[in-house]
């Protein structure tokens, strides 16, 4: 039944993708991005690991040899779980059709330069906030870049004991995408991207580089006035894939500032890392196993998913002894389910958003929560039509936030990403609307 579940899940997602296409390709960007990710995470990756005989979530190479629980008996149940979730997600998206705006707006040609200047100011503002916060935290970016520092950015608390300022790096991502959308020259965009990516590399978070590239590619497709050029997009696709494998393979060298140890030769890359970096579906399977083997465990009924939105937003000084009640209960169970040696530090393993739904509500969560998510994505996209500049940017922003939600499964973090990514768009939305004129 494993192959039946996998192929049926693929068919359901493809049908959903085509449904969005009939509603207007550019009108449903968040849903189409979500479906593409679900095909990778729920179908391709687990099928690959099942075919290669992986028995644990992290494999049995190196430090992970003889660690972790055997999940080989849960591939079938896990794929059924994802099939049910995917069916309800597509069903929720197709449940209701909202009326779209029939008016199309376009930015007046003379206004592009004015808006680009404002975006550059925002880029400099948010970049400075992150850089200053790092320096006040005792992190010397220059020392990390030159490799003379032994410290790593992970484990360093900033002076405010929060990440309110450091998360402005997400705002930097949005400003880069907005600059590309406003038809900034390629060489100028590159000058903005290079220091931003250096900053992201120092921070050790590849996802900001990936979502920046994803956003710029989506913008480039929309801005392209010429016919589809297969050679051009083949070069772009190859370059992007090389970059993703490059930063994945060299991740820890970036974090430690060991730039002299970077590997550039693609023949030396471990290409199985692509599937290793999208293996969260196996964590979902493992979580199902853990609950079934420990019947006394209770689901938290949305405490982690919804309650921690407020806990995450409230400053630490509000809580007793300045300590928030971390880790959230569902994430603690995910960590316990790994059953790694107690002496090991936390590995950062997470489930998909479907696993988060299961941790909150069990199998019922595989039905109601994906349905509501599909419903919400359709509603949001309809109320932010991509035929209008601000609507298009809002669709891009939530697509990038959904990328993190689907792959990390933590709703408070999704909202955090969404707020910070949306902030530059919100700050310039009034200016963009004023610069627009109606086409029809």
Instruction: Answer yes or no: are the C-beta atoms of 269 and 228 closer than 8 Å.
Output: no
pLDDT tens-place string over residues 28-61: 889 988 998 999 999 999 999 999 888 888 766 6
H or E element at residue 438: strand 436-438
pLDDT tens-place string over residues 230-248: 566 566 667 767 777 776 6
* Mean pLDDT, range 6-14, rounded to an integer: 94
Three-state DSSP at 437 gives strand
Q: How far apart are CA 58 and CA 29, in angstroms?
A: 32
pLDDT tens-place string over residues 369-391: 999 999 999 999 988 988 889 99
Three-state DSSP at 104 gives coil
**146 φ, ψ to 5°?**
-85, -5
Q: Is the pLDDT of residue 142 over 70?
A: no
Three-state DSSP at 243 gives helix
Q: What is the dihedral of CA 198, 421, 357, 58, to 10 degrees?
A: -10
Contacts of 142 by beta carbon, 8 Å cutoff, 6+ apart: none
User: Rounded to 5 degrees, what angle do the CA atoms 332, 338, 339 make?
Assistant: 100
Q: How far apart are CA 417 and CA 414, in angstroms?
A: 5
pLDDT tens-place string over residues 183-241: 889 899 999 999 998 888 777 667 888 899 889 988 887 766 544 455 665 666 677 67
Counting the structural domains of the chain, the total is: 1
Instruction: Answer yes or no: are the C-beta atoms of 383 and 16 closer than 8 Å.
Output: no
At 155, the pLDDT band (50, 70, 90 cuts) reads very low
CA distances from 344 to 127, 290, 347 (A): 35, 19, 8
Locate 354 and state its tokens: 């479907």
Domain that holds residue 386: 1-439
Q: Is the pLDDT of residue 290 over 90?
A: yes
Mean pLDDT rounded to a whole number for the chain: 83
257: left (phi over 0), alpha (psi -120 to 50) or beta: left
Distance of CA 220 to the CA centre of its chain: 20
pLDDT at 123: 97
Sequence-ordered alpha helix ranges (H) in 95-168: 112-136, 141-146
H or E element at residue 326: none
At 339, the pLDDT band (50, 70, 90 cuts) reads confident
Contacts of 368 by beta carbon, 8 Å cutoff, 6+ apart: 88, 361
The residues pairing with 107 across neighbouring beta strands, listed in sequence order, are: 436
What is the percent of the chain with per-residue pLDDT over 70, rounded to a whole number?
A: 78
* Mean pLDDT, range 116-130, rounded to an integer: 95
At 154, the pLDDT band (50, 70, 90 cuts) reads very low
At 177, the pLDDT band (50, 70, 90 cuts) reads very high
Locate 311 and state its tokens: 């806990």
Helix axes 169-181, 112-136, angle to 10 degrees: 160
Exposure on the CB side of residue 34, measured as CA atoms within 13 A: 29
Q: How far apart are CA 280 and CA 301, in angstroms?
A: 21
Instruction: Answer yes or no: are the C-beta atoms of 135 and 141 closer than 8 Å.
Output: yes
The residues pairing with 438 across neighbouring beta strands, listed in sequence order, are: 105
């Amino acid at each position: 039944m494993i192959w039946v579940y996998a192929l049926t899940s693929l068919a359901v997602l493809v049908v959903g993708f085509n449904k969005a296409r009939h509603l207007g390709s550019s009108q449903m960007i968040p849903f189409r991005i979500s479906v593409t990710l679900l095909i990778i995470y729920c179908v391709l990756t687990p099928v690959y690991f099942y075919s290669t005989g992986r028995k644990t979530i992290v494999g049995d190479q190196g430090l992970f040899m003889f660690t972790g629980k055997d999940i080989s008996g849960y591939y079938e149940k896990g794929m059924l779980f994802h099939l049910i979730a995917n069916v309800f997600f597509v069903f929720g998206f197709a449940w209701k059709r909202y009326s779209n705006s029939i008016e199309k707006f376009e930015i007046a040609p003379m206004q592009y330069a004015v808006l680009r200047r404002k975006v550059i100011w925002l880029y400099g503002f948010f970049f400075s906030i992150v850089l200053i916060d790092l320096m006040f935290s005792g992190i010397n970016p220059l020392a990390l870049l030159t490799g003379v520092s032994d410290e790593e950015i992970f484990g360093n608390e900033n002076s405010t004991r929060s990440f309110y300022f450091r998360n402005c790096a997400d705002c930097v991502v949005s400003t880069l995408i907005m600059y590309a959308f406003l038809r900034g020259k390629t060489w100028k965009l590159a000058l903005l991207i290079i220091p931003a990516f250096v900053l992201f590399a120092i921070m050790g978070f590849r996802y900001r580089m990936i979502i920046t590239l994803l956003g710029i590619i989506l913008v480039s497709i929309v801005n392209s006035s010429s016919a589809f050029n297969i050679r051009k997009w083949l070069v772009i696709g190859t370059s992007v894939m090389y970059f993703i494998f490059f930063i994945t393979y060299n991740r820890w060298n970036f974090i430690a500032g060991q730039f002299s140890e970077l590997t550039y030769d693609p023949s030396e890359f471990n290409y199985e890392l692509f599937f290793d970096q999208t293996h969260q579906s196996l964590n979902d399977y493992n979580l199902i196993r853990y609950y079934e083997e420990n019947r006394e465990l209770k689901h938290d009924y949305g405490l982690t998913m919804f309650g921690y939105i407020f806990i995450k937003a409230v400053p630490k000084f509000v809580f007793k002894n300045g300590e928030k009640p971390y880790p959230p209960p569902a994430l603690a169970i995910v960590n316990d389910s790994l059953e790694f040696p107690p002496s090991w530090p936390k590995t950062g393993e997470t489930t998909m958003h479907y696993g988060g739904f299961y941790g909150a509500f069990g199998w019922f969560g595989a039905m109601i929560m994906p349905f509501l998510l599909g419903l919400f994505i359709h509603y949001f996209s309809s109320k932010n039509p991509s035929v209008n500049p601000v609507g298009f940017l809002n669709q891009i922003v939530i697509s990038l936030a959904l990328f993190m939600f689907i792959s990390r499964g933590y709703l408070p973090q999704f909202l955090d990403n969404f707020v910070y990514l949306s902030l530059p768009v919100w700050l310039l939305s009034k200016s963009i609307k004023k610069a627009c004129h109606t086409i029809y």
